[in-house]
Amino acid sequence: MGQDIFWQTIGSGPRPALAIHCTLGASGLWKPALEPLGDQITATAFDQPNHGQSGGWDATGAEPGAFQKLVTQIAASFIDRPVDLLGHSFGASVALRIAAAAPEAIRTLTLVEPVLFAALPESDPEWQALRAKQDHLEEMIAAGDLERAARAFMNDWGAGQPWETIPEHHRARFIQQMPMVGNISSANFEDPGQIAREGGMEAIDAPVMIVHGDRSPPTMPLVCNAIAARLQDVGTACIPGAGHMIPATHPAQLTDLIAMNLERA
């Protein structure tokens, strides 16, 4: 793959785990939720390309969904026996792609705010509203209006922090990452990995926990419920007061939910 990837381990327990972070995040976001489980799991968390301490990735000329495919390949390279697989946001879509492709590799699956919008019918009003926002985001990126695109993206999918209060170096990086975000976001709708294909998610027989917040974008509970309806062994949870960035804002509640899922396998 030719990628310079930073990764770290969290915990020292007997069960191998793999945690995949969100778009514009980094592996360290998982620490508050996973460190309390360190006697049960040894979790590997990596920085995706163009995130954290990993090397860059150029979206120029990349086919839609190329970044999702790349991150899926990187994540799969860390799996050599059945793992407790965790993902947040885009990372949850990647985790679901792995689980649907190789269900035998998964011991448990925890999905936090999975952004697989392809799980919803295109006739759904919330899907249509979100698609319109996506079209606008892609137009801003194509026009080179990257700061406005970054503001809009963080307003919808950030931790609720006003743009002006985000440190300047973080804002600069978010702006630089917008072409990559466009590639990622298109995959959430167009599903080039065929995650939502008939029979794909249904093949997952590991225990699954799907988590969302009650202050998340209104599409999220719909996506979570649509995915849950197709799984064999699934629990769902809504964290009161939480928005999209649950690992950062509500790690203790997430720890408890992950622990519950671990107990099921």
CA atoms within 13 A on the CB side of 264: 19
State the angle between helix axes of 66-77 and 178-190 in degrees (0 to 180), rounded to the nearest 10: 90
H helices then E strands: how many in the chain? 10, 7
Asked if 173 contacts 179 with a C-beta cutoff of 8 angstroms, the reply is no
For residues 154 and 150, what is the distance between their CA atoms, to the nearest angstrom? 6
pLDDT at 27: 98
pTM of the model: 0.95
For residue 88, what are its two tokens? Answer: 């947040």
Ranges of residues in the chain whose predicted pLDDT is under 50: none
Asked if 97 contacts 224 with a C-beta cutoff of 8 angstroms, the reply is no
Thinking of the domain 7-120+193-262, which architecture would CATH place it in? 3-Layer(aba) Sandwich (3.40)
pLDDT at 2: 65
One-letter amino acid at 78 equals F
DSSP classification of residue 202: G
pLDDT at 1: 54
The residues pairing with 87 across neighbouring beta strands, listed in sequence order, are 20, 111
